[in-house]
Structure 1
Amino acid sequence: MARQILLNAFNMNCIGHINHGLWTHPRDTSTQYKTLAYWTELAQLLERGLFDGLFIADIVGTYDVYGQSLDVTLKESIQLPVNDPLLLVSAMAGVTRNLGFGITANLTYEAPYLFARRLSTLDHLSNGRVGWNIVTGYLDSAARAMGLHAQHEHDRRYDQADEYLQVLYKLLEGSWDDDAVLADRAQRVYADPAKVRKVRHHGEFYDVEGYHLCEPSPQRTPVLFQAGSSARGLGFAGQHAECVFISGQDKAGTRAQVDKVRAAASAAGRDGHAIKVFMGITVIVAPTEQQAHERHAEYLRYASPEAGVAHFAASTGIDFAAFELDEPIAFSKGNAIQSATRQLQENAWTRRRLLQQHALGGRYVTLVGSPEQVAEQLISWIDDTGLDGFNLTRTVTPESFEAFIDLVVPQLQQRGRYKTAYAEGTLREKLFASDHPHLPADHPGATYRTPQTAPTGALHHA
C-alpha cells in the first residue's frame, strides 16, 4: 500500500515568515497575527483540510547581519516583530479536536524545570496534541540580548541540548507514575505520595532538584521535532528526534539527507524509520495550470527578494550586502546554521544569484500548477526521496492554505495518498499509527519512566 503523505502547515507568530514581502499583497491578512481570531480561524481551516499539525517556528533575537543593521528586517518585517508561539496553542486547541501543534522553543534560554511544566500544561489542555521543535539557536543577537557575550560553539550547543533532554525525560517521564493520581474523594487522596519522586540531576550544564509540577499528561513527553543537519545535529536527531525537518533543493540531495537521518537513528539503536522526515515546500495552485502561473507572477510582484537574502544572511552569519551584485561571495566558517553555510561553500554564489533564488522571498522548492499537477509532484517527491511529508509554507495568507485544501487535498485523496479522516488518539498516535501515546520503548527517553528502568542514579526517592 502506498504511503500516505503527512502534512504540517508552516507558520510563525509574526508577519513575514519564509516568503518575504507578501504581507504587502492586498489579500494577505498576516498583519492580523496579533489577534486570536487570526489563529483560531487558521486552526479550524487546517483541521478542515485534515492537516496533521501546525508547525510554528520561532526565533529569539533579530536578523541584524545584512547591512549590519535592522533596516531591511524592520521595513519588511522579517520575523520581527515576533510574538511567543506557545501562548497560541490553548486558543487553537479549544476550537479544534484533532489538529496537532508543533511549537518551537530555544532550550538555550529556557530553564528546563519550568519549561517542562509549560509542555505538560499544553499537553493537558490540548488532550495530547503537542510537539516540541527542539532548537539551540544560531543568532548572536539572541545571545547578547540574553546576557551572553556570544553563543556557545555549534557542537557545544548540542552537548547542552543532550543534557537538557535528560533533565526533561527525568521530569516528564520519571517523576510521577502513571497511576500516581487517585483522585479518591472518600479517602482524601488525590495523589499517592509513594508514586511521586523527586528528580535530582547534577550535570555539567544543569542542577535540578525537584518534583515535576504536573501530573502525567496524555503524551508525557511531547512529540519531539528537530531540524539539525550537521554531523552533530544528525547525531542528536538519531538519539532524540521523532520528526526531523529538512530543507531540500533537489530530489537527489533530499534523498541523501533522508538516508542520513535514518542512518543516524539506526546508529543510536533505534528503528531507522522511527523518524518521520518533513521537507519545507511552497505550493501555488489554481484550478488550471495557466491560472496557477498567473497567480505565481502576481505574487512575485509583491515579494521581496532582498528580504529573503537578508533572512539568509542571518542563517549564514555572512553580510551579503557587503558584496557587489556579481562579486563571488567568500565563504567563511561561522557559528550559525551549518547546512546554510555549506550551500555557499559548495557553489559559486553571488548576490545576484541569491536574489534570483529568493524571487518569492524564500528559498524553498516551489511547486506551481493545477491541482492534478501539484498532487503528482508531491507524490513524486515522497516516492523518489523517502520523505514522509511536508511543512507547507504560506505565501498570501490564508489564501494559499485555502487553495491547497480545496484543490490539492481532494486530488491526493483520490490517489489514496492522503487520509480522508483523522485517526483517534494523541498527536504521537496519529503520526505513527500507534496505539500508545508515550515515547516508544526503543527511544532513550522511555528508560526514565520508572526508578527500576532509569539509568543508575538518574532518579532517587526524596
Structure 2
Amino acid sequence: MKRLILNLFEMNCVSHITHGLWRLPDNNRERFNDIEYWTELAQLLEEGGFDAVFLADVVGTYDTFRGSAATAIRQGLQIPNNDPASVVPAMAAVTKHLGFGITFSTTYEPPFAWARRISTLDHLTKGRVGWNIVTSYLPNAARNFGHEGEVDHDTRFAIADEYLDVLYKLWEGSWDDDAVVADREGNVFADPGKIRPIHHNGKWFSVEGPHLPSPSRQRTPVLFTATASAAGTAFAGKHAEVVFTGGPTVDGLQRTIAGIREAAVAAGREADDVRFITMAGVVVAPTEAEARAKLARYQEFANAEGYLAHASLPWDPTALPPSALLKDVANGSGRVGRFRTFDPEQTVGEFLAGFGDLSRQPLLAVGDPEQVADEIERWLDEVGIDGINLLQYHSHDTARDFIELVVPVLRARGRLRTEYDERETLRERIFGAGDRLPERHFGARYRGGAHLPATGISDPTVKEDA
C-alpha cells in the first residue's frame, strides 16, 4: 500500500499562493518575520507526522501584470519575501525529524557557495534537507542579478545541468568517506590525501574546489524539481528524486508523470526512482456542511487581482467590458500568463470568475475526515501521485485541522506512519533505501574521486618512501 508523502507548502512571505486570505481572522501570515512563527509551525508539523515543510521562493517581483509590481506589492504577493534557507536552522533546533525542502535557483548565484550552504544545513539537521531546484522565471529576477532580460528557458536548464555537475563533484567526489580522522595524538584532523580539488572547467562555471564542508549524512540533499516543460522533463529524468508538478487537469498531471518516468529510464535510472508530489487543497471539518461553510468563508477573502498578478498576465481583463469575448480582446498567444491556456470563446467576465476561485484547484478535498481521506487515497491510487504539498488557506489552522482530523484516519488506513524512525534521513524516509544517492543516479559517478582529474591534495610535509 502506497504511503502518502506529506509536506506543508510554505513561503517566507505574507501571500504565497492563496492571495487575499492573509486577512482571515486569526491568520498568522503577517508574523512570517518572527522566528516564533517558524518554530511553532515546525513543532506542530512534527507532532502531526509531516515528512517536510516545502519552502518556496522567488528572487524577483511579479511586475508583468499592468506593467508594474504595484499590484503584487499591495497584495503582499511574495513581497516582502525573505530567504527560505535562513529559517531552517530555527525549525531544525526545535524538531528532530521534520524535513525541509528549500527552493534555490541555479541561474543567478554560483554553485560553490550554494554547495557549502546546503551541506552546512544537512550537517545541522543531521540529514533532513532537500533542495527544490528551480531556474527562476521572473524578468525582474534577471534584472536583479545584472541581466537585461530573462534568460531563455532552455538556456536556464542547460546552465542548471552544469550547475548540478559541479555540485555532484563537490558533494560526492571531493572528500572520501574516511577523510576526517580526528587524530588527537598525531594532530591530524583530516587527511589531505583523501580530499581533492574538482578542477571543473565548463561552459558556464569554473570551480577549483575542494568542497569546504566535510561530507554530511546525505552528502547530496534530496533533489526536488518543479517542472512540466520539455527541457524540465529531461532535466528531471536525469537529476530529480522528487518532482513537484501539477497542471490545470488530472490528465495533464498524469501525462507529465509518465513523461518524467520515461526520461528517468532514458537516463539509466528506474521509473520508480522518482516520486511525484503536487499541490493539494484540503478543507476539512467534523461535518461536510461545516467544511463547505469554511471554504465559502475562505472564498469571501480570495482576491482575483492577486491571482492575475501571480499569473504574470500581460493584459488587464479588469479594464475590459465583462461581456467582451476573449478572442476579441486578449493577446494572440492563447495563454494566461505562465499557468494555462484560455478558451477564446469565454467572456471576460467568465474568465475573471475563474481567478481566485478556490474550488478550481485540480486536487481539492472538501468534507469530513472520512471523505477527505477517501479523496486522498484516490489521488494516490488512481491519479498516481506519491504525495502532496498541502496548500495553506489559514496559518496555522490548515495544518492543525489536517493533523487533528485527517491524520488519524490516514494512519488507521495505513497511509501515514504512526511514528518517526529515529535513525532516518529525509532520503531514507522517502525511499527506504539508504541515506545516499543510489549508484545508478548520475551524481554517484563521482564517488571516491572517480571521473575527477585530481587525486588527493599533496602534503609537502610528508616524505615519499625512498
Does TM, normalized by the shorter one, top 0.5?
yes
TM-score by length of 1: 0.93
Letter in 2 for 1:419: R
Letter in 2 for 1:272: A
- 1:313-355 deviation line (CA, Å, top 9, x unaligned): 26xx665556554441334399x85xx2xx2167766653443
How many angstroms does 1:3 deviate by? Answer: 0.7
TM-score by length of 2: 0.92
Counting only pairs closer than 5 Å after superposition, residues 401-420 of structure 1 correspond to structure 2 as: 401-420=399-418
% identical equivalent positions: 46
Distance 1:119 1:347 in 2: 46
Aligned pair 1:355/2:356, yes or no?
no
Distance 1:459 1:55 in 2: 37
Distance 2:38 2:378 in 1: 32
The structure with more radius of gyration: 2
Matching residue of 2:460: none
Change over 3 Å in CA distance of 1:150–1:460 after alignment to 2: farther
- 1:65-92 deviation line (CA, Å, top 9, x unaligned): 1111122211110111000000000010
Matching residue of 2:461: none
Matching residue of 2:284: 285
Is 2:334–2:344's contact at 8 Å kept on the other side of the alignment? no
Is 1:172–1:220's contact at 8 Å kept on the other side of the alignment? yes
Counting only pairs closer than 5 Å after superposition, residues 135-214 of structure 1 correspond to structure 2 as: 135-214=134-213
- 1:196-249 deviation line (CA, Å, top 9, x unaligned): 001101110001112111000111010000011111100000000000001244
How many angstroms does 1:403 deviate by? Answer: 0.3
Matching residue of 2:125: 126
SS in 1 for 2:253: helix
Aligned pair 1:364/2:364, yes or no?
no
Letter in 2 for 1:191: A
Is 1:234–1:261's contact at 8 Å kept on the other side of the alignment? yes
Change over 3 Å in CA distance of 1:166–1:320 after alignment to 2: farther
SS in 2 for 1:142: helix
Unaligned runs of 5+ in 2: 458-466
Change over 3 Å in CA distance of 1:149–1:432 after alignment to 2: same
Is 2:304–2:355's contact at 8 Å kept on the other side of the alignment? yes
Counting only pairs closer than 5 Å after superposition, residues 261-272 of structure 1 correspond to structure 2 as: 261-272=260-271
Is 2:66–2:315's contact at 8 Å kept on the other side of the alignment? no
How many angstroms does 1:461 deviate by? Answer: 4.5
Distance 2:347 2:202 in 1: 45
Unaligned runs of 5+ in 1: none
Change over 3 Å in CA distance of 1:324–1:191 after alignment to 2: farther
Change over 3 Å in CA distance of 1:137–1:382 after alignment to 2: same
Q: CA RMSD in A?
A: 2.0
How many angstroms does 1:460 deviate by? Answer: 4.9
Matching residue of 1:378: 376
Change over 3 Å in CA distance of 1:142–1:187 after alignment to 2: same
Is 2:194–2:456's contact at 8 Å kept on the other side of the alignment? no
Is 2:334–2:341's contact at 8 Å kept on the other side of the alignment? no
Distance 1:350 1:161 in 2: 40
Is 2:269–2:440's contact at 8 Å kept on the other side of the alignment? yes
Letter in 1 for 2:103: T
Matching residue of 1:220: 219
Matching residue of 1:437: 435
Change over 3 Å in CA distance of 1:387–1:285 after alignment to 2: same
Matching residue of 2:34: 35
How many angstroms does 1:173 deviate by? Answer: 0.8
Letter in 2 for 1:422: Y
